[in-house]
């Protein structure tokens, strides 16, 4: 068995000593990422009973699980990921690659023409470790998510997406500002400080693109 690299050993040490990992395990949550979403959602009171929520890049299910619990019995949660995700009660899961038209069509069919109130995207590509490769891949996924929100999110709805700072970031945020009444950039406490990830919260989708 090959020895672990120094970086992977450091990551494992950080992961298992991480207070959010321990808290997620104690509370029966699938992922520490749930606490990022909890902070972002509760700060702006984004969830309301009866909402239709779509979770893009959902596996292992931490965000969908938290949203389902927060909504209680009312509302709908539809999740999608290229990875398999163990079933969650009250969550509709589609397995497929968001980059493929057939998968997007299946997601839209599942929604049955009903407008979405909140689109969440925690999508990220498999990392190669080379920024010049990883950032364009991440930006491509982000653009697909924005296109999906353009089509499926109701006027006045909210779009919350993970972004990576780097080439294309500023232009992406400008595009969000054309589409939404208010755009904020957030770094929740549960995000690791050395991670380049931030979250763009776009609220109040315009009925027509400005």
CA–CA gap between residue 9 and residue 40 (Å, rounded) = 30
CA–CA gap between residue 25 and residue 34 (Å, rounded) = 11
Question: Nearest CA to 58 among 7, 12, 102, 95?
Answer: 95
Q: ∠ CA(123), CA(124), CA(128), 5° rounding?
A: 165
**Enclosing H/E stretch for 38:** helix 33-44
Count CB-CB contacts under 10 A for residue 10.
11
Binding residues for S-adenosyl-L-methionine: 61, 63, 81, 97, 122
Which member of 162, 187, 193, 210 is catalytic? 162
Look up 162 and say whether it is catalytic. yes
Over the range 29-43, which residues count as b (16 or more CB within 10 Å of their CB) and which as e? bbbbbbbbbbbbbee
Task: Please identify every residue annotated as catalytic.
Answer: 162
């Amino acid at each position: 068995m090959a020895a672990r690299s120094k970086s992977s050993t450091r990551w494992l040490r950080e992961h298992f000593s991480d207070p959010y990992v321990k808290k997620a395990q104690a509370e029966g949550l699938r992922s520490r990422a749930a606490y990022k979403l909890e902070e972002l959602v509760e700060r702006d009171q984004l969830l309301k009973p009866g909402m239709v929520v779509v979770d893009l890049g959902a596996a292992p299910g931490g965000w969908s699980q938290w949203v389902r619990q927060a909504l209680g019995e009312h509302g709908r949660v539809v999740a999608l990921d290229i990875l398999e995700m163990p079933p969650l009660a009250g969550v509709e899961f589609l397995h497929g690659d968001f980059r493929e038209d057939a998968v997007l069509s299946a997601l839209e069919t599942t929604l049955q023409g009903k407008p979405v109130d909140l689109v969440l995207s925690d999508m990220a590509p498999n990392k190669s470790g080379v920024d010049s490769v990883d950032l364009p891949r991440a930006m491509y996924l982000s653009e697909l998510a924005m296109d999906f929100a353009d089509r499926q999110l109701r006027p006045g709805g909210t779009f919350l997406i993970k972004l990576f700072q780097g080439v294309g970031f500023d232009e992406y945020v400008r595009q969000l500002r054309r589409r939404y009444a208010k755009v904020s950039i957030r770094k929740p406490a549960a995000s690791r400080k050395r991670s380049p990830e931030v979250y763009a919260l776009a609220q109040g989708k315009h009925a027509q693109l400005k």
